[in-house]
Amino acid sequence: MLRLDGGRFLMGSEDSDSVKADGEGPVRPVTVDPFYLDRHTVTNEQFSEFVRATEYKTEAERFGWSFVFHTHVRGINHVRGSNKDGGEALIHPAGLRWWLKIDGADWAHPEGPDSSVATRANYPVVHISWADAMSYANWAGKRLPTEAEWEFAARGGLEAKRFPWGDELTPGGKHLCNVWQGSFPDSDLAEDGYSAPAPVDAYPENGFGLQVITGNTWEWCSDWFSPDYHLHSTRLNPVGPAIGNRRAMRGGSYLCHASYCNRYRVGARTSNTPDSSTTNLSFRCAMDV
């Protein structure tokens, strides 16, 4: 883990392409206390140690299925699975045709029962629900970061920039994160080197020494999600509302593209139900100083 000294920073975004419904703005000064944060997302190797020590079963394993991006499903065009309310569907309940419900998909079998993480020790563990992430964090003596802590860390000491390295996505034509290039959702040109999760150290560190905190995989935060909580909340160590039905996620993923989801900006945010798990959903842990 890295020790971050905390301090005052400008949180949120008023970018012209910000997602207003997510409550990215207004930009406001926020202060966080010193804290520790994992240098990178939790890896398959680290999560497997947790599973061996505790015999923990993830929610995807208990449900018997998880969501897999359609281009990663081998040899089949459509897969029928049961949703978590007991009904059948071919696609994500929200109508996103690129998500397929795959029986047997879980953290150890990311694309389904015929896949494996045996050669992906240094890749982010995926198909992780919020409850799974919390269980790992508790076992490790850690916790999930708040949204404020996550954004403070992701900015790497830069103020009011779109990305951890500045305002240009590809400065000098160089790819510094794993996001989508091409026509979403059918053709990823993988110009950044990857069309699926990349290793946790695949790109340069940000100013604080954190690895791959933008793109690659979404990261759970501890907060319940609200698009307007911050309009009337404290500016000192905010922790989100006391109750809710969706948890906050940060950082974007390898599936983010300007035409559909440009939430790989450090001021961007979104949410998901706590039991959700997909091939682009992971986490990193924090700890009090």
pLDDT tens digits along 43-66? 999 999 999 999 999 999 999 999
Q: What is the DSSP string of 246-258?
A: SEEEES--TT-BT
CB 210 within 8 A of CB 156: yes
Residue type present at position 49 = E
CB burial string 159-198: b at 16+ within 10 A, e below: ebbbbbbeeebeeeeebbbbbbbeebbeebeeebebbbbb
110: closest CA among 125, 94, 89?
125
pLDDT at 92: 46
CB 266 within 8 A of CB 208: no
Whole-angstrom distance, CA of residue 247 vs CA of residue 232: 19
Q: How confident is the model at residue 11 (pLDDT cuts 50, 70, 90)?
A: very high
pTM of the model: 0.93
Domain ranges of the chain: 1-57+121-289
For 1-57+121-289, the fitting CATH number among 3.90.1580.10, 3.90.1150.10, 3.40.50.300, 3.40.50.620 is 3.90.1580.10
Q: How confident is the model at residue 75 (pLDDT cuts 50, 70, 90)?
A: low
How confident is the model over 142-168, as pLDDT tens digits?
Answer: 999 999 999 999 999 999 999 999 999
Residue type present at position 47 = F
Tokens 């897969």: give the residue: 79
228: closest CA among 12, 8, 33?
12
Q: Which residues contact 205 (CB under 8 A, 6 or more apart)?
A: 211
Q: Name the H helices within 72-227.
A: 130-139, 147-155
CB 142 within 8 A of CB 134: no
Q: How confident is the model at residue 258 (pLDDT cuts 50, 70, 90)?
A: confident
Q: At what angle do helices 130-139 and 44-54 cross, to 10 degrees?
A: 70
Whole-angstrom distance, CA of residue 191 vs CA of residue 25: 31
